[in-house]
Amino acid sequence: MPINNFNFHNSTRILFGKNTIPQLSKYLPEDKHYIICYGGGSIKKNGVYDSLITTLGSRKHEDFHGIEPNPDYETLMKCVNRCKEIGVDKVYLLAVGGGSIADGVKFIAAACYYHGEPWDMVLESGAKITNAVPMSCILTLPATGSESNPSAVISYRKINRKQSFKSELVYPQVSVLDPDTMLSLPMRQIQNGVVDAFVHVCEQYVTELQDADCQDRYAEGLLKALVKNGERIMKDQKDYIARSNIMWAANQALNTLIAQGVKEDWATHMIGHEITANLGLDHGQTLAIVQPRLFELKIKEKKDKLALLGLAVFGIQDSNVEECAKKTIIEIENFYTKTMGVKNKISEIDCSQDKAWIDTLCARLEKDGAKWGENQNNTYRS
Ligand code: NZQ
Ligand code: ZN
């Protein structure tokens, strides 16, 4: 099957490496009102905030803090209202943190110009976004690729929803990737981040066989880089080689390049988002729980690609393709749990006996006619 037609454009400039925050200055207009958006305050302890303030110099700026992991609609709307007070045409947004901050800022950027209820903008998957406030990003947690992609995932805790949207208008203009910002990361976030990036590559690779050699070989290279440097960083967080390779691999895993012209299957993410929305588990953790089981369930459709992955990434060889695929699933699971130390059983994390959310969720998925899989032919029942 040949590569499908595609139209690829990624407009984000990347400033990669040590001490690159000051280089942002060259790309930030002088006459804007900057809003520095961040989370619980890690950037104030690790020097990133101070470096940004020096970089901004005399440019007008203010803070908006308190964006939570899995950014919440209600928190983000406070910043939308503040932007409107200032005048949306004057504002420039700076996202400083992990994927939740980048995603939250994408929502703020688009909601500022959206006519109507901004949650609808998310439910419409971003299809009606017509304008957005400009934004740039300083990434402090490699995982999501949000720093140079058009997607965002927004939570609305009040109604137990977690939903993604997409728009070319919310690509960050510039993103700084300085691996030294990772030095202050709690190990749990590094573990989650490597698993998240690994699963991103899989969602764009473990589908049907297609004659897309560049996409496939590049995807395999990214997976190998994540396995090799995942092992390294678990031994020593100070290892710059491991940090820099993980930061770049996580970016490339979801800057949309490897998805061009090939099928994608984001079912693991879709199910993972529902688990986070209902139980509050970390994003990376939900993926480690869901993906191996889903692969087992879909082994007939996915065995060829799983076998290819197994050979390229883990050196697995077996003349029987299905056996090879099964061994690959075990290796992937071992990578998540043994190498990266991420738990992959829901019962090890959430001991609640209340399973009512599952019925509520299934009823909604049925009503929405939700379909997943590379051929959009899987419902929650199949
Ligand atoms: O809030 P602060 O104090 O900064 O602490 C954060 C937060 O508690 C901390 N952290 C980040 N950088 C740090 C640091 N702590 C110390 N030192 C640093 N350098 O890490 C915690 C988690 O941050 P968060 O941004 O939530 O993590 P992550 O980057 O994993 O983002 C997860 C979110 O991204 C979405 C997920 O669904 C989830 O909501 N995703 C977005 C995607 C996209 N836009 O394309 C794709 C992904 O699949 C994913 O769904
Ligand atoms: Zn993810």
The domain locations on the chain are 13-180, 187-368
pTM of the model: 0.98
Residue 255 Cβ contacting ligand 1 at under 6 Å: no
15 CB-side CA count, 13 A: 19
Residue 332 carries which side chain, given as an amino acid letter?
A: I
Nearest Cα to 103, choosing from 60, 164, 36?
164
C-alpha 192 – ligand 2 centre gap (Å):
9
Confidence of residue 367 (pLDDT cuts 50, 70, 90): confident
Residue 278 Cβ contacting ligand 1 at under 6 Å: no
Question: Which of 144, 184, 238, 268 for a ligand 1 pocket mutation test, highest count of atoms within 8 Å of Cβ?
Answer: 144
Provide φ and ψ at 94, rounded to 5°: -120, 120
Q: Which atom of ligand 1 is nearest to the CA of 276?
A: 37
The C-alpha atoms of residue 123 and residue 129 are separated, in whole angstroms, by: 12
Mean pLDDT over residues 331-348, rounded? 95
Provide φ and ψ at 65, rounded to 5°: -120, 170
Enter the tokens of residue 155. 């939570």
Whether residue 351 is predicted with pLDDT greater than 80 in this model: the reply is: no
Q: Residue 364: CB partners within 8 Å, gap ≥ 6? A: none
227, 335 in Cβ contact below 8 A? yes
Residue 132 Cβ contacting ligand 1 at under 6 Å: no
Give domain 187-368's CATH superfamily.
Dehydroquinate synthase-like - alpha domain (1.20.1090.10)
So what's the pLDDT on residue 382? 65
Q: Residue 361: CB partners within 8 Å, gap ≥ 6? A: 274, 278, 380
Whether residue 320 is predicted with pLDDT greater than 90 in this model: the reply is: yes
Mean pLDDT over residues 252-276, rounded? 97
Confidence of residue 376 (pLDDT cuts 50, 70, 90): confident
Whether residue 35 is predicted with pLDDT greater than 70 in this model: the reply is: yes
Mean pLDDT over residues 213-237, rounded? 98
Residue 40 Cβ contacting ligand 1 at under 6 Å: yes
- Whole-number average pLDDT of the chain: 96
So what's the pLDDT on residue 178? 98
The C-alpha atoms of residue 191 and residue 73 are separated, in whole angstroms, by: 26
Confidence of residue 347 (pLDDT cuts 50, 70, 90): confident
| Residue the block writes with tokens 């203009």 | 173
CATH architecture of 13-180: 3-Layer(aba) Sandwich (3.40)
Residue 153 Cβ contacting ligand 1 at under 6 Å: yes
User: Which residue lies with its CA nearest to atom 17 of ligand 1?
Assistant: 185
Residue 136 Cβ contacting ligand 1 at under 6 Å: no
So what's the pLDDT on residue 355? 81
Whether residue 93 is predicted with pLDDT greater than 70 in this model: the reply is: yes
**Ligand with minimal distance to 288 CA:** 2
User: Which residue lies with its CA nearest to atom 49 of ligand 1?
Assistant: 144
So what's the pLDDT on residue 343? 95
Whether residue 110 is predicted with pLDDT greater than 90 in this model: the reply is: yes
| Residue the block writes with tokens 């099964």 | 326
Residue 281 Cβ contacting ligand 1 at under 6 Å: no
User: Which residue lies with its CA nearest to atom 18 of ligand 1?
Assistant: 185
C-alpha 12 – ligand 2 centre gap (Å):
19
Residue ranges in 87-186 assigned as alpha helix (H): 99-111, 118-123
